[in-house]
Amino acid sequence: MSNIKKIAVLTSGGDAPGMNSAVRAVVFSAFQFGIEVVGVFRGYEGLIDWEVKNLDLEDVRNINNRGGTFLYTSRSERFLQPEYRKQAADNLRKNGVDALVAIGGDGTLRGAIAFQSEGINTILIPGTIDRDVSCTEYTLGFDTAANTAMEAIDRIRDSSVSHGRCSVVEVMGRKRGYIALWAGMATSADAIVLPEKWDGNFDSITDAIKRRHADGRNSYLVVVAEGVTDAPELAELIRKKTGIESRVSVLGYIQRGGQPTAKDRMYGSLMGAFAVELLQMGKQNRIVAIKNDILIDYDLEEALDIQNNMLDSFQYELSLRLSE
């Protein structure tokens, strides 16, 4: 067992539904062990500038249903520089903080790895709607983002059917296509463009739309993960090659917001509590992960090399079959 008396908690990078549940669980779990908790505002930036608040149970009691993060967040360019990491570490030591719980995605993980050289014990909770932390099968925010995208696409599709047009909908995800895949399958998309599978063949999309149009279909839906291809360009290409009116909808940041789903609240609570358990067990520099729906942990550096959550080939093949 460790002799930790005081910890800090922060949220970093893109906000993700479920982050508040994780912070709440950290505070409640720490309270059970007699550990003080300092909330750090604006992620690693707030750690450098020491923008903090001592958190008690009343500060976090009713934040489960709130989207975003009440601790605020940022992407810190300064934290990439050794002198600012040292400043952050000095702030923690001067204020008697024994360990840090950081909640965020891939960039937050890399920051935590770099922070090890300053001697600060960091536990990372993966929170990113993109689901792009490879060592874990789930990251906080994904379920809410996928559901938000699905609900928006359902509404867009209603209009598409009414006007007899093709809707090209761009969703978030960066280098991972999970939101596009899940939202696309859930809304019966005619084509889903994923970064893991995209070969640049626009003809495969336009030819499929032509075939369905010849069979009597009059409305179509294409879901595109951001960064794979230019969505307006794809819509214009569809219009030129098929003669079908095509419109673009970029869902953008609405996918980050809104009330977290039960899944994100539950996983946030589990991961937050588990992070404190790891500290109590005396573990150093670990990341919380989910495998086969069970909480596990990995060394921070080891986590970068683990590939647990690559796009499932069966899910992708099924999306192709269901789009026929």
pLDDT tens for the chain, residues 1 to 324: 578 999 999 999 999 999 999 999 999 999 999 999 999 999 999 999 999 999 999 999 999 999 999 999 999 999 999 999 999 999 999 999 999 999 999 999 999 999 999 999 999 999 999 998 989 999 999 999 999 999 999 999 988 888 989 999 999 987 889 999 999 999 999 999 999 888 888 898 999 899 888 888 889 999 999 989 889 999 999 999 999 999 999 999 999 999 999 999 999 999 999 999 999 999 999 999 999 999 999 999 999 888 766 777 888 888 888 877
Give the amino acid at 33: F
Q: In terms of Cα–Cα distance, which of 82, 74, 20, 6 is closest to 44?
A: 74
pTM: 0.94
CA–CA gap between residue 243 and residue 37 (Å, rounded): 61
pLDDT of res. 30:
98
pLDDT of res. 247:
94
pLDDT of res. 212:
86
Tokens of 155: 């509404």
pLDDT of res. 1:
59
Say whether 4 sits in a helix, a strand or coil: coil
Q: Are 127 and 267 within 8 A, CB to CB? A: no
Per-residue three-class SS string for 107-140: HHHHHHHHHHHHCCEEEEEEECCCCCCCCCCCCE
pLDDT of res. 309:
66
Tokens of 54: 């001592």
CA–CA gap between residue 115 and residue 122 (Å, rounded): 8
Q: Are 18 and 110 within 8 A, CB to CB? A: no
Q: Within 13 A of 135's CA, how many CA atoms are on the CB side?
A: 23
List, by residue number, the catalytic residues. Answer: 130
